[in-house]
A and B are shown apart, each in its own frame.
Chain A
Amino acid sequence: GQQVQQSPASLVLQEGENAELQCNFSSTATRLQWFYQHPGGRLVSLFYNPSGTKHTGRLTSTTVTNERRGSLHISSSQTTDSGTYFCAIGGSALGRLHFGAGTQLIVIP
């Protein structure tokens, strides 16, 4: 089945530093999405990005489909960015997602 690998597993930043989170997947079928999980557990969708580059605020998602990889760039990190970031790859229906194990981000003041 679809394999999704994220790196690094964890990351500690000083506030203001940038972060680059990586996602590699085993199939060329993408429907790549990024999710953020609050420290309390709530999950929110950040990006749906099957290919190319998308921006929202300080976040940039880049997906290179033929290389089976995606990345999430966080610029000028803030303490409120702390949490876990998941990459997920979709199947035939958007919600049939295969999740990576996540990157836990800690931003210290």
Chain B
Amino acid sequence: EAAVTQSPRSKVAVTGGKVTLSCHQTNNHDYMYWYRQDTGHGLRLIHYSYVADSTEKGDIPDGYKASRPSQENFSLILELASLSQTAVYFCASWNSGNTLYFGEGSRLIVV
């Protein structure tokens, strides 16, 4: 079973502060993704990466940066957190199979 772990699992941040959400996978998957989920809605893709040291913009990249320093690690960075970025963030990985493996989510509250 593929393992994707996220940290922190929850965080309260102040408006204008910097937030880093981390994701680690242990199955040598090439592709990694960051999605956000707003209450009562589906997931939307923020950034993704298919190789270390490279990231791509997803559907809603504004206000977010991503970093893939190694195959195992993928971070999502909010340089200036805003109230509208309050959400649950999910990391996922995939490698040519038909299953996307999700982490357990990081709940971010910006105050």
The chain A residues found within 8 Å of chain B, CB to CB, are: 1, 4, 33, 35, 41-45, 48, 86, 88, 93-102
Interface residues of B in 40-54 (CB under 8 A from A): 40-45, 48, 50
Contact with A along B68-106 (1 / 0, CB 8 A): 000000000000000000001010111000111110110
List 13 other contacts, CB 8 Å, given A93-B94, A101-B40: A42-B102, A42-B105, A43-B102, A44-B102, A86-B43, A93-B50, A94-B31, A95-B100, A96-B58, A97-B100, A99-B43, A102-B41, A102-B42
| Least CB distance, A96 to chain B, in whole angstroms | 6
Interface residue range, chain B: 20 to 34
B99 pairs with A96, CB closer than 8 A: no
19 contacts between A and B (CB under 8 A): A35-B100, A42-B102, A48-B98, A48-B99, A86-B43, A88-B43, A93-B48, A94-B31, A94-B94, A95-B45, A95-B48, A95-B92, A95-B94, A96-B48, A97-B43, A99-B43, A100-B42, A101-B40, A102-B42
Minimum CB distance partner of A41 in chain B:
B105
Q: In the complex, A21 Cα to B45 Cα: how many Å?
A: 23
Best-buried of A43, A44, A95 by chain B (most CB within 10 Å): A95
B42 pairs with A99, CB closer than 8 A: yes
Chain A residues in 8 Å Cβ range of B31: 93-95
A94 pairs with B42, CB closer than 8 A: no
A45 pairs with B42, CB closer than 8 A: no
User: Within the complex, which residue of A35, A42, A86, A102 is in contact with B104, where a contact is CB–CB below 8 Å?
Assistant: A42
Chain A residues in 8 Å Cβ range of B59: 1, 98
Chain B residues in 8 Å Cβ range of A4: 42
| Least CB distance, A30 to chain B, in whole angstroms | 13
